[in-house]
Amino acid sequence: MTSADLPSLLLVEDDAVLGPLIAELLDPDYRVQLVTNGRDGLHQGLTGSWDVMVVDRGLPAMDGIALITALRSKGIATPILILTALGDADEKVRGLDAGANDYVTKPFDAGELAARLRALTRTFTPPAPAPVAIGDWELDPTQRSVRSVYGQTVSLTAKEGQLLAALAAEPDRVFTRDELLAACFHASEQPGVIDTYVHHLRRKISKAVIRTVHGLGYQIGEAHE
């Protein structure tokens, strides 16, 4: 989920009637983008940032299975639900093994589809999330404050907390500004925002926590050398 608003959903459906219908059906709960062929689906899937995708099986320009295979091979891990008229068990096996996470056959029940999509997008948060350790600091799960190992507590703003949480999620990994932008902001801001917030964090916490990797981005953890 890129922000506090609705999750984004990419719908790939060539049927001129069914496509808009499904889009309308999902509209209250998702920001739906409808594309009507596999090639557009691939392009959107690769370039956009989606919380979940619904793809038809038979598509012009690029088959649904081929689309999913292509996306997965490019490292796209977004949950994908296949929605199609082809209901043979063999077809289901093929679709799921290609990398889909769920398979629903037409005609489908609207409530069931919605529930399956909820199941796919559900981000499971354990009831008592352990505070995230960042060097000598501890990020509170509410993402609004950090405590040093020696009692001192610093409160963060929402963006500061999100940025720090994103970096802390994968220590040692280097995040580009664009990645961080997609994770914490609406992706419409200037990449320079990140610099500003990194500066804020470094001033509030110790300078050493967030490392700069020149030309790439930022990183938490392992100082190289």
Footprint of its own copies (CB under 8 A): 72-75, 77, 89-90, 92-93, 96-97, 99-103, 109, 111-112, 114-116, 118-119, 122, 124, 126-128, 142, 144-145, 152-155, 157-158, 174, 213-216, 222, 224-225
Report helix, strand or coil for 211.
Answer: strand
Q: Please, are residues 146 and 137 in contact by the beta-carbon 8 Å criterion?
A: yes
Angle 35-40-45 (CA atoms, 0-180°, nearest 5)?
A: 90
Q: State how far the Cα of 86 lies from the Cα of 79, in Å rounded to an integer.
A: 20
Residue 183 corresponds to which amino acid? A
- Residue 103 has a CB neighbour count (10 Å cut-off) of 20
Q: Min. distance of Cβ 36 from its own copies in angstroms?
A: 26
184-to-100, 126, 187 alpha-carbon distances in Å? 27, 21, 8
Site map (CB under 7 A) of DNA, residues 128-157, x = contact: ---------------------------x-x
Q: What are phi and psi of 28, to 5 degrees?
A: -60, -25
User: Which of 112/172 has CB closer to DNA?
Assistant: 172
Q: Min. distance of Cβ 71 from DNA in angstroms?
A: 29
Q: State how far the Cα of 152 lies from the Cα of 159, in Å rounded to an integer.
A: 21
Q: Is 39 in the site for DNA (CB under 7 A)?
A: no
User: Which of 67/166 has CB closer to DNA?
Assistant: 166
For residue 147, the cross-strand partners are 138, 153
User: Which of 100/209 has CB closer to its own copies?
Assistant: 100
Of 193, 204, 206, 221, which lies in the binding site for DNA, with binding defined by CB under 7 A?
193
User: Which of 34/65 has CB closer to its own copies?
Assistant: 65
User: Which of 123/188 has CB closer to DNA?
Assistant: 188
Q: Please, are residues 210 and 219 in contact by the beta-carbon 8 Å criterion?
A: yes
Which chain residues interact with DNA by CB under 7 A?
Answer: 155, 157-160, 185-186, 188-190, 192-193, 195-199, 202, 212-217
